[in-house]
Structure 1
């Protein structure tokens, strides 16, 4: 039987999709799987019933500090470079640990999350086939189309928009090349001499297969590399359903800013407490995004939970207020929920642009009265005119991510 090592950070948006894939492949007898992650991932991996190989022991605080910044990173180059510098300090140690492990116990295939490219590059140096797992395919550079990381550009099909997109793609590439020059020495230590291959694809992603964890129909039109495979959304939580008893009133509203963004959540909690006071017809359920915790409290029609599992409870809601992370976005699509999207950082602005452009929701206007009005309007339109997201919900049903990856593994021409 083939053996596959999945490499992912302990963050739910990256770890949970890997666990869903790995568990599905193992249950189908396609491969023996191991999950390589830091100790902070132990609870989720155990809940999935999978084997855990720990790396970067005693370094979880550093890992989480990189992702959980004290303020928005946005398009601030200095904030981005600070993240890169801190990340590189960990990556060399990770490379050494992976080299030691795989030199003795090599898998037949490595599937590395896109934020841990050093895992793929290390596998390549040892002659091990490597695929990239990509929860956010919009960040891939392509020769055409609307680029990401520029504040959430919408996509338009006209000459001016094509010129704008061309300039945007050049800005993104120039920033990356500038960053590579700034960090040339540590990148060389990791085996990265340049950022791009001769065909223009990025060296930090697999040249053989990039598994895009999403729907091609959700993305803006562009020319994708031939080795990008859209396998569909991966939205399952490894944890069993937590206790959750929603009200049955005019509507239950989910509010979730994901598992990061601590600086944004307290502000959001205060805001939605105000929204709840002027919207007695709704019950509001705020998830702090702490997987595995079942703590909750209630204040009138405002319910504050440490964690609400999307995969177990999304159908209880009438609408969702989200930050635009891929997990909650696709969970809302699968449940057919209208969305108010409130992007905070990173690629969330790009997902928000897609949600709005496809008619799946609206951008949140951060005032209690406007939020209340927009929620009433979204639910009214859905009730009177039908569900505008139904077509995307039906498209999502046509994907079977585990089955697609199982076929890809079985048919892989690299000799695994």
Structure 2
């Protein structure tokens, strides 16, 4: 069977589909990914994951379309934060207060999906997939599935509520639907769910599938293969906080706090940002540049991060406590899910040594994190989900 994947731009949307794509290909199916990057290197990153990729939109055009979507959405919604540099933080907090439904911000992604739709539909018509898998805010894949009359699968990436997104995107993309002679959404649609059972809450239900982290490949240094002689704490801000802001502001406390905590801190914030902006780092802070997060977390006792879905899910998969410093987007939703389950802490103010010691020594978050890891690992793996997906797509189940 031929399976076309379509994702919104950004590694946080692109990386979560890699494990399912691998599983499909390992089972003998053909896969193809149509996507766009929000920054240089994004397309290359999924190509390096071994996936055949079609660039549906240039990075420049994707950036312009997303910027237009943000501006139009803020103006239409009458948001008082329009024009403010911290608008994304305010919108993220509002999302969390409103139950975490991404349908609220779906129109923000509509211009991006519209811009991708011409190439995505063209690729689909040429390649003729029998199944299309798309991320929640990517509307071009659903349009292509509807036009070809093939089933569509939504693959989530975190703890947001995704019910209601599809019809909202359909309405916002009406011009594209009319241009392609398509009336409505695909007739056959399902959603997957990567949420551990005890953290389901208001998350949209779907076919359960274990989240298997993919954070890119990398050459593992000796220190990463050797168990540390004291607790190790990972410090990361994901793939976009540093990219868009160019600074390590949420980790400004590290130089002063780390020296007062008996642990090794690994500063894994990529290769494009100078850690010197944090000041003179104590000897127990290791600037590591880029390190595959899932490999790093397997050696850690805890992690401090921004609350991005990839970082949150990777920490849950590793079964370690997490301290979340949410900045924007869905990060407040993920933080609420983690703290609500008791497997981590959230802070929007200063981080001090007492908080770090609590993260490392309080047994309750560690126990809860271990329980969630066990739940995740009991869920059907992508390899186990593939036969069910194929049977459903063929109409034999």
TM-score of the superposition, structure 1-length normalised? 0.73
CA distance in 2, matches of 1:63, 1:217: 38
Aligned pairs (5 A) from 1:213-228: 213-220=194-201, 224=204, 228=206
CA distance in 2, matches of 1:322, 1:204: 37
Deviation for aligned residue 1:330? 2.1
Give the secondary structure class of the aligned counterpart of 1:317: coil
Q: How many residues align?
A: 358
CA distance in 2, matches of 1:358, 1:90: 34
Give the aligned partner of residue 191 of structure 1.
177
Q: Give a deviation string over 1:341-383, Cα, whole Å, max 9, x none.
A: 22111221122112112110112253243xx11221232223x
CA distance in 2, matches of 1:413, 1:102: 16
Give the aligned partner of residue 266 of structure 2.
285
Alignment of 1:327 with 2:325, yes or no, is no
Contact 1:7 1:35 in 2 (8 A): yes
CA distance in 1, matches of 2:322, 2:116: 38
Alignment of 1:271 with 2:249, yes or no, is no
Residues 1:395 and 1:232: Cα distance change in structure 2 (over 3 Å)? same
Deviation for aligned residue 1:33? 0.5
Gaps of 5+ in 1: 143-172, 193-202
Aligned pairs (5 A) from 1:29-108: 29=28, 31-38=29-36, 40-57=41-58, 59-62=61-64, 71-76=86-91, 87-108=109-130
Deviation for aligned residue 1:187? 3.0
Deviation for aligned residue 1:107? 0.6
Give the secondary structure class of the aligned counterpart of 2:160: helix
Contact 2:158 2:313 in 1 (8 A): no
Deviation for aligned residue 1:116? 0.8
CA distance in 2, matches of 1:385, 1:32: 42
Contact 2:34 2:120 in 1 (8 A): no
Residues 1:90 and 1:326: Cα distance change in structure 2 (over 3 Å)? closer
Contact 1:257 1:289 in 2 (8 A): no
Give the aligned partner of residue 166 of structure 1.
none
Residues 1:313 and 1:100: Cα distance change in structure 2 (over 3 Å)? same
Aligned pairs (5 A) from 1:296-311: 299-300=281-282, 301-311=284-294
Alignment of 1:118 with 2:140, yes or no, is yes
CA distance in 2, matches of 1:306, 1:205: 43
Give the aligned partner of residue 400 of structure 1.
380
Alignment of 1:389 with 2:372, yes or no, is no
CA RMSD of aligned residues (A): 3.8
Gaps of 5+ in 2: 71-83, 96-102, 179-183
Contact 2:62 2:112 in 1 (8 A): no
Give the secondary structure class of the aligned counterpart of 2:213: coil
Give the secondary structure class of the aligned counterpart of 1:362: strand
Give the secondary structure class of the aligned counterpart of 1:139: coil
Contact 2:235 2:305 in 1 (8 A): yes
CA distance in 2, matches of 1:308, 1:363: 24
Give the secondary structure class of the aligned counterpart of 1:324: coil
Residues 1:386 and 1:21: Cα distance change in structure 2 (over 3 Å)? closer
Give the aligned partner of residue 15 of structure 2.
16
Residues 1:125 and 1:248: Cα distance change in structure 2 (over 3 Å)? same
Give the secondary structure class of the aligned counterpart of 1:274: helix
Residues 1:345 and 1:244: Cα distance change in structure 2 (over 3 Å)? farther
CA distance in 2, matches of 1:259, 1:4: 27
CA distance in 1, matches of 2:310, 2:222: 19
